[in-house]
Structure 1
Amino acid sequence: MHKLPKAWSLMALDQLVHADKPIVYGIVQAGPEYPGGTPYIKSSDLGGKIEPEFLSRTSPEIAAQYSRSIVRPGDIVFSLRGNIGELSIVPGPLHEANLTQGTARISVNGRAFNEFVAHTLKSPFLQKRIATVGKGSTFKEISLEELRKLEVPIPPLPEQVKIAEILRSWDEAIDKTHLLRVAKERRYKALARKLFDPCHPTFQSRPNGWREWELGDVFRERIQSGEENDRLLSITMSGGVIDRESVGRKDTSTDDKSNYKLILPGDIGYNTMRMWQGVAGLSNLRGIISPAYTVVTPIQSRILGRYAAHLFKSRRMVFDFERYSQGLTSDTWNLKFPAFSKIKVFLPRVEDQERQANLLDALSVEISVIGRYVETLTRQKRGLMQKLLSGEWRVQRDEAVA
């Protein structure tokens, strides 16, 4: 972090809390769930907005033994263990609650504004510091002593408030965009369910004109090697068929790729060992993929690749992929083409498949665009935090200046 402006100072966190409300952790053993009891906040409750109705509850007797760690609206709750560094501000509707041994209360005094301190604790430079002082290899935790002496850059109070307002506006934009993406995803799932549930043999009252097929009647397995200059591709749950290099994936395969499989635009590739999770995608690329994948080519007069790509993500198809997978445990389950080919499915006419695929493709594009926008906003906010919370950029009235 660069040199602080003259009006700023570095202060230990325990200098920023009320003397009668020091930084402490909470209940050591909360006991069994106690309906109607005192709510308490765990590490897993942190990182976003605290939802009072979803908090666990302990008995009034246990809570009374830890009155020192009561939290009220405006207090910051910080995770000491596991998801170390995650935090949330206690919301107004939660009038009173307690903590666990894995969380700490930070109740700021008049020197600091709670939102500013919360943002600063989430800033890249302080998160790096928190990770450094945390102990443990597999299970990280930070002690109260280390947390209390953690140094925070503090500007004058009016500047803290203004910085918090600016960052709050970014949070609101990110939250609204995220909610829009969630709404689009729900719409996609509802539409996919409506369109694809009739494909399953157990569905009753499907539309006229549908025909039952085995997947082996509408797909052919591609067993073909690629050429020396074919690019190496991969298949992911969310991204489908991708170029390994374009996403920074290191090629850990052997130099001999003679047994790698060719996949062409229009083919569908799936992970033979993870098809029961729906790991499949329609390829827009030519390349080679690992022998761990299976490549199938749709017979266009019976099933469209774009339609099948959505169908293969539907809940009932994924259930059948799991049911037909072979192996003793989920670690060894596999769905090779002979088993894949026996799965039965009802399909509408190709013209109807095309209309349905167009609808689902359009929604998928919208979801992807909104998702990239959320990522952009989040990245921009992170850069803004680096500048504002270190004093590199100062705020004057309604704007930030360098």
Structure 2
Amino acid sequence: MAREMKDSGISWIGQIPADWSIVKIKAGVHKVGSGKTPSGGATTYADEGILFLRSQNVYDTGLELSNPTYITPAVDEEMKGTRVFPNDVLLNITGGSIGRCCIFPESLKTANVNQHVSIIRVNQDIFLAEYMHYYWVSPLGSLAIDLYQTGGNREGMSADAIKNTPIILIPLDEQRRICRVLDDECSKIDSVLAEIRTSIEEYKKLKQAIITQAVTKGIRGDRPMKESGIEWVPMIPEDWSNYRGKHLFYETNERSETGSEELLTVSHKTGITPRRQKNVNMFMSESLVGYKICREGDIAANTMWMWQGAIGVSAYHGVISPSYNTYRQRNNAFDLQYLDYLLRIPPLVDQYNVCSTGITASRLRLYPEQFLSFNFPVPSMEEQREIVMFLRSRVDEMDALIQKKEQFLAELETYKKSLIYEYVTGKKEVV
């Protein structure tokens, strides 16, 4: 017999079982609060000590600690009010990762957090930490964030907003049964998701390997090779040339007088694309007057992210940030598509990284004098076009396969969220 349902009184929650109720989160927690950045910021980070968690560590499937940050016990003592303990629910409350959520595990004992992560310490007589986690990672959590986040850019959840967020109150025994079922079901789904993600990364690496091989060795099979004199590619085909960047390119500095041109972005993933095609939330200037002109065929480089490969050849006429760099070919030695492939291959990106200057990764910069000092291989124009034709076919095939896998990944993630939603709203009953 179908269970009796009732209107929850909350439009975005909808129907719930008749014996369940709606309360505000503050009715079942001991603490809701976020941390802060220690005085002195990153300069206070230590090589060991107390684990210091930031939003990039918090994922729905658990903590990501491949590159951990620590603070000293003395700094932790100064911030003792924001210590994290086992079974605390951690929720990202700002920025692009807002809503990601996990439970702090017993194996880690203690940690501290910065201001982008909220600690929700549940009253275990009312809520299970596991249930609170499932609530936030379900579509209900996303809806709550959309409705209750605060701030001019609507990208932040305050402690008061979290405390006053409605949540479904379920009897503890039923919470346990729901969480056990979801743990089992989600574990199976997560295993498949992990396999798909691994497969996608392997295909992306294979794609990069094919591009690198083609643009640095050619596609004409075994042939005589020679020492290149190029630091990042030791050997090149014997009939290829090599030139220093300053003989191939020159820096341009044209500026927009009207600000009417298309605004372009420069990414290590997609190269140069119109900003309107990107889903970005970064600040945008009111006027594009004074922005740098980037013409079709120009190289545009995001100076701050060159170490990741944020460079490409533009297929558009537009403008880029004044803090970026633009370059133009001196004598058209390169086919534009061949050059675009070449500029983002891993060995060259590694060289950008090595030659960038700055104290930390977020402050690294590759300036024109460094870029123009690099040596580049130059095949004949005929061979460059052969390479481009070969790569277009191979890269399109691999991109289509990667896209298919990413689509399946998205569909499976949606299914997982819908499954959680069905159980935490009682529309699917644990038997």
TM-score between both structures, scaled by the size of structure 2: 0.58
- Per-residue deviation, 1:240: 5.2
Query: Contact between 1:16 and 1:112, CA under 8 Å: does it hold in 2?
Result: yes
Map of 1:42-61 to 2, 5 A cutoff?
42-47=54-59, 49-51=62-64, 54-59=68-73
1:96 corresponds to which residue?
109
Deviations 1:131-162 (A, max 9, x none): 5434433683512x442332223553223433
- Per-residue deviation, 1:186: 4.0
Asked if residue 209 in structure 1 is aligned to residue 221 in structure 2, the reply is: no
Query: Contact between 2:53 and 2:69, CA under 8 Å: does it hold in 1?
Result: yes
1:223 corresponds to which residue?
none
Query: Contact between 1:78 and 1:106, CA under 8 Å: does it hold in 2?
Result: no
Deviations 1:314-348 (A, max 9, x none): 3676778xx9xxxxxx99x899xxxx999863235
One-letter amino acid of the structure 1 residue matched with residue 394 of structure 2:
A
Cα distance change on mapping 1:179 and 1:344 into 2, 3 Å: same
Q: 2:427 aligns with which of 382, 390, 394?
A: 394
- Per-residue deviation, 1:280: 2.7
1:369 corresponds to which residue?
401
Distance in 2 of aligned mates of 1:216 and 1:312: 15
SS in structure 1 at match of 2:120: strand
What percent of counterpart residues are identical?
A: 11
Map of 1:176-255 to 2, 5 A cutoff?
176-189=195-208, 196=216, 201-202=230-231, 206-207=235-236, 208-212=238-242, 237=267, 238-239=269-270
SS in structure 2 at match of 1:173: helix
Distance in 2 of aligned mates of 1:298 and 1:397: 71
2:376 corresponds to which residue?
345
- Per-residue deviation, 1:104: 1.0
Map of 1:269-348 to 2, 5 A cutoff?
270-271=299-300, 277=306, 278-281=310-313, 289-290=317-318, 306-314=337-345, 345-348=376-379
Cα distance change on mapping 1:376 and 1:236 into 2, 3 Å: farther
One-letter amino acid of the structure 1 residue matched with residue 104 of structure 2:
V
2:158 corresponds to which residue?
142
Deviations 1:7-45 (A, max 9, x none): 54323334445xxxx224476686744555333434443
- Per-residue deviation, 1:97: 0.9
Q: CA RMSD in A?
A: 5.7
Query: Contact between 1:84 and 1:142, CA under 8 Å: does it hold in 2?
Result: no
Aligned residues: 359
Asked if residue 86 in structure 1 is aligned to residue 100 in structure 2, the reply is: yes
Cα distance change on mapping 1:343 and 1:295 into 2, 3 Å: same
Asked if residue 159 in structure 1 is aligned to residue 159 in structure 2, the reply is: no
Distance in 1 of aligned mates of 2:35 and 2:294: 57
Deviations 1:321-379 (A, max 9, x none): xx9xxxxxx99x899xxxx9998632356559846974696367535633553355335
1:6 corresponds to which residue?
17
Cα distance change on mapping 1:96 and 1:365 into 2, 3 Å: farther
Cα distance change on mapping 1:130 and 1:33 into 2, 3 Å: same
Cα distance change on mapping 1:233 and 1:303 into 2, 3 Å: same
Asked if residue 75 in structure 1 is aligned to residue 103 in structure 2, the reply is: no
Query: Contact between 1:116 and 1:160, CA under 8 Å: does it hold in 2?
Result: yes
- Per-residue deviation, 1:60: 6.9
Query: Contact between 1:240 and 1:280, CA under 8 Å: does it hold in 2?
Result: yes
Asked if residue 37 in structure 1 is aligned to residue 49 in structure 2, the reply is: yes
- Per-residue deviation, 1:392: 7.0
Cα distance change on mapping 1:50 and 1:200 into 2, 3 Å: farther
- Per-residue deviation, 1:57: 3.3
One-letter amino acid of the structure 1 residue matched with residue 71 of structure 2:
R
Query: Contact between 1:199 and 1:345, CA under 8 Å: does it hold in 2?
Result: no
Distance in 1 of aligned mates of 2:124 and 2:142: 22
2:254 corresponds to which residue?
none
Distance in 2 of aligned mates of 1:86 and 1:343: 41
Query: Contact between 2:57 and 2:65, CA under 8 Å: does it hold in 1?
Result: no
Cα distance change on mapping 1:36 and 1:354 into 2, 3 Å: same
Distance in 2 of aligned mates of 1:163 and 1:363: 39
1:227 corresponds to which residue?
none
TM-score between both structures, scaled by the size of structure 1: 0.61
Unaligned runs of 5+ in 1: 220-231, 255-259, 324-329
Q: 1:23 aligns with which of 11, 19, 31?
A: 31
